[in-house]
Amino acid sequence: MVVSYRFQLEDQDPTIIGIANGGEAYSINYDNGNLNFDQGDFTSLTAKLIWTLLSFFPLYAAIRRIPIYEEFVEGAKEGFQIAIRIIPFLVGMLVAIGMFRGAGGIEMLTPLWWSLAMGACLGGNGSLIGAAANVMVAGLGERAGHPIRFFQFFKIGFPVMLFSIVIAHLYLYLRFF
């Protein structure tokens, strides 16, 4: 939203970003100085997409003269054989995880999981190609006539990333140590 307000997108293309969350679509529009949040529904789109895909593959197979039923049965047999082969490994992993949890190992690793999650989340904000959202916003800015270059983003993004990582470090230190 900050980028959209900064670059003030043209009237021809007011949509800034669309987010799919829980089967619903949200779009943030910039119209005449006002930010508007519109909510749509992806349910009908999803249903159409599923039926399109379900009808495409059998039609494609029929055109290519592929025996659909025989291929499906063969794939199911192979999948079942693979499932039977990996069951001992799955049971072994579940036993190992249970023993690790019983010994208190999961609780010992909690600071590590938090550190990994925060580093992965905040570290990508330092450069233009560090996170998919950064690349998407740069593409939207370029399409609107306001390109965002790598070093232009880096000059602002890297100090912000360093500051957020310092805050995360302090939080982790105060919470776990």
Whether the pLDDT of residue 98 is over 90: the answer is yes
Give counts: helices (H), strands (E), the chain: 6, 3
Give dist(CA 81, CA 79) in Å, integer. Answer: 5
Whether the pLDDT of residue 17 is over 50: the answer is no
- Look over the chain and give the mean of its residue pLDDT values, rounded to a whole number: 79
pLDDT digits (tens, 9 = 90+) for 144-159: 888 999 999 999 999 9
> What does the pLDDT average to over 156-176?
93
Q: Residue 24's closest CA among 46, 45, 36, 39?
A: 39
Q: In terms of pTM, does the model score above 0.85? A: no
Q: What is the pLDDT of residue 132?
A: 87
> What does the pLDDT average to over 80-106?
93
> What does the pLDDT average to over 73-94?
94
Whether the pLDDT of residue 165 is over 70: the answer is yes
Q: In what order do the strands lie in the sheet with 24-31?
A: 15-21, 24-31, 34-41
- The domain spans of the chain are 1-66, 67-103, 106-177
